[in-house]
Amino acid sequence: MNERHRPRRIGRSIGAVFAGFVAVVVLSLGTDMVLHATGVFPPWGQPMSDALLLLATVYRTVYGVAGSYITARLAPERPMQHALAGGVVGLIVSIAGTVATWNKGPAFGPHWYPVALMVLAMPTAWLGGKLYVMQLRAQAAQ
């Protein structure tokens, strides 16, 4: 491999992971803001019911799959490895959020919620990568 092409691929790899991460954050926070503004969620800083936290878990999971798909789609090579790298980033952010909010009061919800986000980080990353790899295989078979 030519050494001049190596930095460009590393940059594209970092960009792919970053783009997937940004997509998840923008979609998650955007949905949060809409649900708070429309009264589905209580005002910021107020406790949420388990049902509402389950709703948040579901859409964050869907967005995690979408973000991992985006990462895999933008990856210069090895899409699944890139999607899983994005999952590691999501896992680290989830762990940091869990540590930062653990036992900080009812406004941060019950412990199951941040634990669920940690547990789901890698499976959602795998699923997003798998969906893109399956799409590639289907296109190659045509």
Buried b / exposed e along 31-62 (16+ C-beta atoms within 10 A): beeebeeeeebeeeeeebeeebbebbbeebbb
Per-residue pLDDT of the chain (142 residues; tens, 9 = 90+): 455 556 668 999 999 999 999 999 999 999 999 999 999 999 998 999 999 999 999 999 999 999 999 999 999 999 999 999 999 999 999 999 999 999 998 888 899 999 999 999 999 999 999 999 999 999 999 8
How many distinct structural domains can be found in the chain? 1
d(C-alpha 48, C-alpha 4), whole Å: 52
pTM, rounded to two decimals: 0.90
Domain that holds residue 39: 5-141
Handedness of CA 42, 52, 38, 24 (dihedral sign): positive
CA distance linking residue 107 with residue 38, whole number of Å:
19
d(CA 142, CA 139): 5
Span 82-123, pLDDT tens digits = 999 999 999 999 999 999 999 998 888 899 999 999 999 999
Contact 12, 76 (CB under 8 A): yes
DSSP at 3? T
What is the number of other CB atoms lying within 10 angstroms of the CB of residue 105?
9
